[in-house]
Amino acid sequence: MATEKIILGIDPGTTIMGFGIIKVINKQMHFVQMNELMLKKYDDPYTKLKLIFERTIELIDTFHPDEIAIEAPFYGKNVQSMLKLGRAQGVAMAAGLSRQIPITEYMPKKIKMAITGNGNASKEQVAKMLQSVLKLKTLPKNLDSTDGLAAAVCHFYNEGKVELGKSYTGWEAFVKQNPGKINKQ
């Protein structure tokens, strides 16, 4: 009997949220879709967060992923950018958690390393490797969608390995793994 699993990969962002979906059948990866949610035209940050949540729910309800892999925000010098990225990631995670889908976070370097063998690879190198591995005919203009796809492929490659990124199976697991980070009022 064939074993099947669908993995949704998300590259969260407040300007563009990239996502990619793969189907795994008998340990073989198959490309399903990649795309992006364009948020540039919206000025209100709360509208952007609402749209990220709604699009993630729509993807879940359409493709029924078994697992979600999400790129963790990288640590930069701009605190405001980090806060915005963290909110975007949190909203996408909340959408998955609301549907009881296990979520695993991966640092950008870990994703790049899994795809190209080089943790400092460029977005273009990651995209080209995905094009080769998944036999994609063309690449998108914006590479945020390939970043989302890369998170899904990284998750596939890391399956069964002991050291994964942070993983949550629901709100209860999230709260247990993050004591002191949840404001109890």
Give yes or no for residue 184 having a pLDDT over 50: no
Q: Give the pLDDT confidence score for residue 142 in this predicted structure.
A: 87
How many other CB atoms are there within 10 angstroms of residue 48's CB atom? 23
Mean pLDDT to the nearest integer, 123-132: 96
pLDDT tens sequence across 134-153: 999 999 988 999 999 999 99
- The answer to whether 106 and 151 have CB atoms below 8 angstroms apart is yes
Indicate which residues carry an active-site annotation. 11, 71, 144
Q: Give the pLDDT confidence score for residue 164 in this predicted structure.
A: 43
Query: 81 pLDDT band (50/70/90 cuts)?
Result: confident
Gap between the Cα atoms of 150 and 156, Å rounded: 10
Mean per-residue pLDDT of the chain:
88
Strand partners, 7: 22, 67
Q: Is 66 annotated for ligand binding?
A: no
**Residue pointed to by tokens 């793969």:** 22
Please give the class, per CATH, of domain 4-178: alpha beta
The domain limits of the chain are 4-178
Gap between the Cα atoms of 90 and 177, Å rounded: 15
Q: Is 44 annotated for ligand binding?
A: no
Nearest C-alpha neighbor of 7 from the set 17, 24, 160, 15: 24
Gap between the Cα atoms of 5 and 101, Å rounded: 12
Q: Is 124 annotated for ligand binding?
A: no
Percent of the chain with pLDDT over 90: 73
Q: Give the pLDDT confidence score for residue 167 in this predicted structure.
A: 58
Gap between the Cα atoms of 87 and 101, Å rounded: 19
